[in-house]
Amino acid sequence: MKHTKIAELLESDHFLQDFTAKGWVRAFRSNRFIALNDGSTINNLQCVLDFENTPEEILNEINIGAAISVTGTLKESEGKGQRVEIEVKNIEILGTANPEEVKKTILSPKRHTLEKLREQAHLRVRTNTFSAVMRVRSQLSFAVHQYFNQNGFNYVNTPIITGSDAEGAGEMFKVTNFDLNNAPKNEDGSINYKEDFFGKEANLTVSGQLEGETYALGLGQIYTFGPTFRAENSNTSRHLAEFWMIEPEVAFCDLDGNMDLAEDFIKHVINHVLDNCDDDLAFLENRVIQEDKSKPQAERAPMALREKLRFIVDNNFKRVSYTEAIDILKNSKPNKKKKFNYIIEEWGADLQSEHERYLVEKHFKCPVILFDYPANIKAFYMRLNEDGKTVRAMDILFPGIGEIVGGSQREERLDILQTKMKELGVDEKELWWYLDTRRFGTCVHSGFGLGFERLVLFATGMTNIRDVIPYPRTPKSAEF
Q: What is the pLDDT of residue 166?
A: 56
Predicted model pTM: 0.94
Q: What is the pLDDT of residue 73?
A: 97
Q: What is the pLDDT of residue 302?
A: 82
Q: What is the pLDDT of residue 128?
A: 96
**pLDDT (tens digit, 9 = 90+) per residue, 416-448?**
999 999 998 888 988 999 999 999 999 999 999
CB 367 within 8 A of CB 396: yes
Q: What is the pLDDT of residue 165?
A: 61
**pLDDT (tens digit, 9 = 90+) per residue, 95-152?**
999 999 999 999 998 889 999 999 999 999 999 999 999 999 999 999 999 999 999 9
The residues near 24 (Cβ < 8 Å, ≥ 6 apart) are 36, 37, 38, 65, 66, 67, 68, 126
Q: What is the pLDDT of residue 81?
A: 84
Q: What is the pLDDT of residue 283?
A: 97
Cα 472-474-479 angle, rounded to 5 deg: 60
Q: For residue 471, list its beta bridge partners.
A: none
- Written in H, E and C, the secondary structure of 9-21 is HHHCCCCCCEEEE
CB 57 within 8 A of CB 47: no
| DSSP H or E stretch at residue 329 | helix 322-330
Which of 373, 408, 383, 381 lies closest to 250 in space, CA to CA? 408
What single letter denotes the amino acid at residue 86?
I
pLDDT tens for the chain, 480 residues long, are 699 999 999 999 999 999 999 999 999 999 999 999 999 999 999 999 998 999 999 999 999 999 999 999 999 998 888 899 999 999 999 999 999 999 999 999 888 999 999 999 999 999 999 999 999 999 999 999 999 999 999 999 999 999 866 555 558 999 999 999 999 999 999 999 999 999 999 999 999 999 999 999 999 999 999 999 998 888 788 789 999 999 999 999 999 999 999 999 999 999 999 999 999 999 999 999 998 888 888 788 888 999 999 999 999 999 999 999 999 999 999 999 999 999 999 999 999 989 999 999 999 999 999 999 999 999 999 999 999 999 999 999 998 888 999 999 999 999 999 999 999 888 898 899 999 999 999 999 999 999 999 999 999 999 999 999 999 999 998 989
Q: What is the pLDDT of residue 267?
A: 98
d(CA 39, CA 134): 10
340: left (phi over 0), alpha (psi -120 to 50) or beta: beta
CB 109 within 8 A of CB 132: no
Q: What is the pLDDT of residue 109?
A: 87
